[in-house]
Structures are given as C-alpha cells and as structure tokens.
Amino acid sequence: MKNFLALAARVSIRIGNGNRTKFWKDPWCSDEPLVESFPLLFQCASDHEALVGECYSISGDSVLWTPSFQMNLFDWEVEKVLNLLTCLQNQELDYSLKDKWHWKWNSDGVFSVKSLVANLSRRGVPDFPDRQVWNPNSPTKANFLVWTMALNKCLSKENLVRRGIQVSDLSCSLCGSSAESTDHLCIHCPYSTQLWNHFLNSLKVCWVMPRSVKELLCCWQLMGLSKKKKAVWKMVPIVVVWSIWTERNTRIFSNKILSPEELIQKSVGKLISWVSVDADFRNYNVSNVFLSSS
Ligand SMILES: [Zn+2]
C-alpha cells in the first residue's frame, strides 16, 4: 500500500471538463486531494463523490465554482470556503477536453516501465534499508526478524501494550532499568551496547548510534573496506539484533541468562558461520578479517 501511494504521487491529473475526476478525492487541484487539504469542509459537503465537472458552471468566459454543502455554514467554515475558492480560482480548465492522467517521470506524460526503472535506480529507495535487511547470506528467519525490528513491529513489551495486551512489568528484559521498546532493546540497552561495542572495536570503527533500528540500518555503510571486511560489516547488525532478541526470549521463556561475554562469544560464532556461506570465504579463516587493517 505504501509503495502504491508512493507511485500515485508520481501521477498528476490534467483537468479538462472535469467529468472523470472526483472533486474531493482525486489529487487534481494540488498534490493532495481536497479532502486532505480541507477535511472539515469535506464533512459538510453535499456529495462526497461529486465530480469536478459537477462543481462549476460557465458564465461567459468565466468559470464559476459552485461546490455545494449540506447545511448553513458557521463563520469559521465560511472562511475555509473562501480559502477553497481561492485555490479553485487558480485552476485552468479546458472544458473542450477530457481529463487526463499525467505521468510525471516522462516528458510526454505517458507511463512507461523504462521511465519508472530509470528513476527508481537514480533516486534509490530512500525510506527503507532493504539492502541491509535482506542480506542473502544470513538465514531468512534472521532477515525477517531484522525487518520487523526496523518496522518496530516486533513483540517488545511496549508493542504488546500498544496492541492492548496487559503487561505487568514493562522493564527491559535485559537490563531491567528502562522500558522495553524495540529501539532500547536493540540499540540503547547497556547490555546490548556491550555487544555492539565488541564488534565495532574488533573492526576498529568509531560509530555513533542513531535513535532507531531503522536509522541504524539506513546509515550502516563504510567506505573503503576490503570485500571480505565489507561482508562481515554488513552481517554485524543482523547477528547483533538476532542475538539480542533470542537472549531476551530465552530469559523470558526459559529463565536462562547469558552474561554479556557469553553472548559476545556466541554471536561471534554465529557471524562466522553465516558469513562463511559466501563463496569468497571458502577456505578462509573469517577471524582474520577482525585483524586486518581495512
Ligand atoms: Zn535494557
């Protein structure tokens, strides 16, 4: 749905006679539909499905806008109607033509897969770290976990409460000193910080942690790394998030606790086994990556 809306934003409507375009619900007057620009007036509108062509009349060479409302309007609503009319006055109609959809990424306004692909590759997908999440060498279950973390959809105590589930103790299952949110567990918890610091120190990297898992993944890039070190670097957040979440669940459901040192040891082993799936690491000791300078 989100991708559909992003795509819809690349389309505009060239109004002709207005007989194919919904007055309130289509984005013809600006980039957003009038229902979003004037939500309170929309509530008072006589016909929520009215077409643009039903909301004006022609008087000589002039267009007279006549959207209709169900009731007598209050003074403050009249003020909003004036704002709406000002917005409408700036619209140019060519009522001898039909309404036409215009694809913004092609100069002739006609949609083509080529223009879509060209623009997506040029602009990238800036709002979600897909490449970082869907690492082909890590297990799919780990990718899915990181994906839910980046979307803040995992069942942390905070998210359980959001879903209406009663949680008696909201404190973090790892440190017990803060509320258990996704971002606290994965990034800001003092217990988890030790795991991050171990990998960052091993790779000789100084790093400032951002606010959220999604932001962390979006900025998880380092220039000038060797191919092998880059593969390890890309795997670190997946291993760390996986290790933290499984440790959290083990504490809750099995009542077993690993010390930070034990979790570090376990995570390093997991990282080595996951990274070794890459053909570049065949017959290579992954531990050497942590010793190399680039
Ligand atoms: Zn904590």
As a whole number, the mean pLDDT across the chain is 85
Res. 240: pLDDT tops 90:
yes
Which of 189-198, 212-221, 273-282 bottoms out in mean pLDDT, i.e. has the lowest?
A: 273-282
Res. 130: pLDDT tops 70:
yes
Q: Are residues 119 and 158 in the same domain?
A: no
pTM for the full predicted model: 0.59
Q: How far is the CA of 198 from the centre of ligand 1 (A)?
A: 17
Count CB neighbours of 6 within 10 A.
12
Q: How far is the CA of 83 from the centre of ligand 1 (A)?
A: 51
Q: How far is the CA of 151 from the centre of ligand 1 (A)?
A: 19
Q: Are residues 91 and 15 in the same domain?
A: yes
Q: How far is the CA of 279 from the centre of ligand 1 (A)?
A: 37
Q: Name the token pair of 279.
A: 């053909």
Q: Are residues 162 and 218 in the same domain?
A: yes
Q: Are residues 22 and 44 in the same domain?
A: yes
Q: Which residues, chain by chain, have CB under 5 Å from ion ligand 1?
A: 172, 174-175, 189
C-alpha distance across the termini of the chain, in Å: 41
Q: Are residues 137 and 267 in the same domain?
A: yes
Instruction: pLDDT band for 72, please (50, 70, 90 cuts).
Output: confident
Q: Are residues 220 and 98 in the same domain?
A: no
* Dihedral pair phi/psi, residue 33, rounded to 5°: -65, 155
Q: Which amino acid is at 154?
A: C
* Dihedral pair phi/psi, residue 158, rounded to 5°: -60, -45
Res. 227: pLDDT tops 80:
yes
The CA-based angle 88-93-96, given to 5 degrees, is 155
The domain boundary residue, chosen from 101, 123, 145: 123
- pLDDT tens per residue across span 22-63: 999 888 888 778 887 787 788 788 898 999 999 998 888 788
Quote the number of domains for the chain: 2
Q: Are residues 55 and 137 in the same domain?
A: no
- pLDDT tens per residue across span 246-291: 999 999 999 999 999 999 999 999 999 999 888 888 877 777 777 6
The domain boundary residue, chosen from 105, 123, 141: 123
Distance in angstroms (rounded) separating the CA atoms of residues 269 and 271: 6
Q: How far is the CA of 239 from the centre of ligand 1 (A)?
A: 18
The domain boundary residue, chosen from 93, 123, 153: 123
Q: Are residues 71 and 183 in the same domain?
A: no
Q: Are residues 92 and 213 in the same domain?
A: no
Q: How far is the CA of 249 from the centre of ligand 1 (A)?
A: 13
Q: Are residues 149 and 271 in the same domain?
A: yes
Q: Are residues 47 and 164 in the same domain?
A: no
Residue labelled with tokens 């610091």? 197
Instruction: pLDDT band for 126, please (50, 70, 90 cuts).
Output: low
Determine contact, residues 241/184, Cβ cutoff 8 Å: no
Q: How far is the CA of 182 from the centre of ligand 1 (A)?
A: 10
Q: Name the token pair of 235.
A: 């795997």
Q: Which amino acid is at 2?
A: K
Distance in angstroms (rounded) separating the CA atoms of residues 116 and 202: 42
The range of the structural domain enclosing residue 202 comes to 130-291
Q: Are residues 84 and 202 in the same domain?
A: no
* Dihedral pair phi/psi, residue 63, rounded to 5°: -105, 130
